[in-house]
Structure 1
């Protein structure tokens, strides 16, 4: 795996960038929403985002990427569409938010591309890393949390209401993605932390906060009314 720690922080960055990652159905979207709520309650300006998407252009790309009818999409096409959406998000939203001192909470970012396109699809990891550097415009999260849950449980959650194009890839694909996330956390322990996603929403939220205490002011679970979804 190519090391992305050589990417430079953007000039004038004053805010904090947090990304949440994990296989489909791990609960990261719920935790991203609840974390943003707690940080706002603690007085931070919070910018909530998701990938792909987050901009008018990015949301159009998201529809293409996740549409089950686009099963013929080449792996390289998929990779470049993710990077295109990301570059627009960084330039239009993330970089300005960090420059003014906001906390950015992003549901997926460039580590998803490593896990899904290099780990899941089997594209060359160094190629994916170079594409990630271009798509991210050199902007890395201060902390990335990988919510870790067994593939069987996660996939059952993710597909309960129907499966998108990536979720349709099945169990073996998700297992490769999960393994890639765990390799990433081992390779970059200062930035990437694994959070056990087994248990109640409140329990997982507590672990999320504990993994962020050194990068953003702590916020206690319950301050903003943590609730099950």
Structure 2
């Protein structure tokens, strides 16, 4: 992953004592500004503390490309960043400024003040049938649910119920693209990329509206 577009700033950053956090913050801001100015920042990221854990948010110039739970079973956020570096671009840098609006809208959602996201989204991490499923999910309204079978039919493959489950499990934009609103035909919650407790929290939040 990219660490700097300004070699001098990078050397100074590396030489700073760990406890000199204010100076590190200033130099990091210089690195981000330099990367943006030179067109070297392809993927910006930040983290956000929420009721379902700390989420990693990442965006390209096209829009929000990744929302990730901190799953220790799958390597946590470090593994997500490595995957973005491989699949999107190695020029990845912590640059919260690009994600200010996304973070604000997600916070509003958890506060019960937002029922619909208004964000540019970059869907490049989903293809084929999974992309069709992801596209349909955004149309499932706040406080509503659909079964895996209903989503399969809407995506054009009524028999592909298991594939819908896989698409939801690999949804690159959970919370914002609401795969948590897909449940089993018997009404039980089913699986979720963020875990059963997170899915319950999201569905409970929306049902209280």
TM-score by length of 2: 0.28
TM-score by length of 1: 0.26
Structure with greater Cα Rg:
2
